[in-house]
Amino acid sequence: MSETQVMDPDWLAFHPNPKAPGFKLPKGAVDAHCHVFGPTPEFPFAPERKYTPCNAGKEQLFALRDHLGFARNVIVQATCHGRDNRAMMDACRAAAGLARGIASVGPDVTDAELAEMHEAGVRGVRFNFVRRLVDATPKAVFRGIADRIAKLGWHIVVYFEAADLDGLVPFLESLPTVIVVDHMGRPDVTKGTSHPDFQRFLQLMQENSNIWSKVTCPERLTADGPPYDDVVPFAAEVVTRFPDRVLWGTDWPHPNMKSHMPDDGALVDFIPRIAPDPEHQQKLLVDNPMRLYWA
Ligand code: 0GY
């Protein structure tokens, strides 16, 4: 490898020593949004990546899982690995049934490669529309991939910015699988829950029973910083209105955080603020992810 893979000078590494959460997770809880980065050189970052992170490998992820009290992980392919899913698949295999994966694939992916991913634990693909993270993929290409992975019983995770939702609605409504939207479609929390952009997102979920949401990333959405009071009304509204279609995850190791690095234990303590009763917590953390990823 000729190029260097040294992390970006302004890269914030994950919290070295997260606190033990005060909130006791229900038995069998799933961290349904996290990543692995490398470690390099075994799993090099992709040449087309938009950032170079620190290494954050599977052993560290599994140690965090155990420390926080989760039973399982859903590992989402990070854009720094492009469409080279080996690090994610290796982590899924090493978890021996306790992790599932979300892959990033191109139109040239073969049926044999998809079958190998399924065997490793992959149950979905991610379509990423965030321009700072990836070069654009034509919707027709995504549509072709959607038709192929639908046959495997997989679903589609989509990541986009709030301003792009309107233009994406016809495409999202044309997809043949369950769709999971990352981080509630990234609302601008300074505008309040009554803003038309967030109301449009709620309407999309209301009108499409196959659309789910991750109520994740208060640390990314907040304008005020910890303890993320400004994000609570957004996530609480999604959990209350769509209790059977929400997922929660840490987003460890928190790519591209600039303002601060969250304490993952404090993130777990955020959960009862958005899902205050045990019934909603059980759905959010256990029943919903188990139905989507392990059924
Ligand atoms: C996230 C958010 C981000 C990055 C990625 O795959 C990725 O690189 O997902 C981001 O920078 O907003 O969900 O981890």
Query: Using one digit for the tens of pLDDT, what is the confidence trace for 8-54?
Result: 999 999 999 999 999 999 999 999 999 999 999 999 999 999 999 99
- For 112-170, write each residue's pLDDT tens digit: 999 999 999 999 999 999 999 999 999 999 999 999 999 999 999 999 999 999 999 99
The residue-averaged pLDDT of 242-265 equals 98
Catalytic entry in 31, 90, 182, 251? 251
Whether residue 157 lies inside any domain: the answer is yes
Ligand 1 atom at minimal distance to the Cα of residue 256: 11
Asked whether the whole model's pTM tops 0.85, one would answer yes
Tell me the percentage of the chain whose pLDDT exceeds 90.
98
Residue 264 Cβ inside 6 Å of ligand 1? The answer reads no
In this structure, the dihedral spanned by the alpha carbons of residues 35, 160, 287 and 61, taken in order and rounded to 10 degrees, is 10
The residue-averaged pLDDT of 262-271 equals 98
- For 166-218, write each residue's pLDDT tens digit: 999 999 999 999 999 999 999 999 999 999 999 999 999 999 999 999 999 99
Residue 210 Cβ inside 6 Å of ligand 1? The answer reads no
11 C-alpha to center of ligand 1: Å?
13
Residue 79 Cβ inside 6 Å of ligand 1? The answer reads yes
User: CA 230, CA 215: separation in Å to the nearest integer?
Assistant: 14
The CATH number of whichever domain residue 76 belongs to comes to 3.20.20.140
Across the chain, mean pLDDT equals: 97
Higher-pLDDT residue of 276, 79: 79
Whether residue 11 lies inside any domain: the answer is no
Whether residue 88 lies inside any domain: the answer is yes
CA angle 72, 281, 163 (to 5 degrees): 85
Residue 256 Cβ inside 6 Å of ligand 1? The answer reads yes
Q: Give the chain's end-to-end CA distance (angstroms, integer).
A: 41
* The pair of three-digit structure tokens given for residue 194, joined into one six-digit string: 């009554």
Ligand 1 pocket, mutate which of 37, 79, 104, 251 (most atoms under 8 A from CB): 79
Structural domain including 256 reads: 30-293
Whether residue 25 lies inside any domain: the answer is no
Q: What is the pLDDT of residue 2?
A: 44
Whether residue 19 lies inside any domain: the answer is no
141 C-alpha to center of ligand 1: Å?
21
Whether residue 73 lies inside any domain: the answer is yes
Residue 182 Cβ inside 6 Å of ligand 1? The answer reads yes
Residues 6 or more apart whose CB falls under 8 angstroms from that of 276 comprise: 236
75 C-alpha to center of ligand 1: Å?
12
Q: What is the pLDDT of residue 3?
A: 59
- Nearest by Cα to 158 from 123, 193, 183, 121: 183
Q: Name the residue with the closest Cα to ligand 1, atom 5.
A: 78
Q: What is the pLDDT of residue 5?
A: 86
- Using the predicted structure, report yes or no on whether residue 68 has a pLDDT greater than 90: yes
Count structural domains, the chain: 1
110 C-alpha to center of ligand 1: Å?
26
Q: Name the residue with the closest Cα to ligand 1, atom 13.
A: 251
90 in active site: no
- Nearest by Cα to 271 from 69, 12, 60, 40: 69
Q: At 1, is the pLDDT very low, low, confident or very high (cuts 50, 70, 90)? A: very low
Whether residue 152 lies inside any domain: the answer is yes
Residue 87: count of CB within 10 angstroms of its CB: 27
172 C-alpha to center of ligand 1: Å?
20
Residue 104 Cβ inside 6 Å of ligand 1? The answer reads no
Whether residue 213 lies inside any domain: the answer is yes
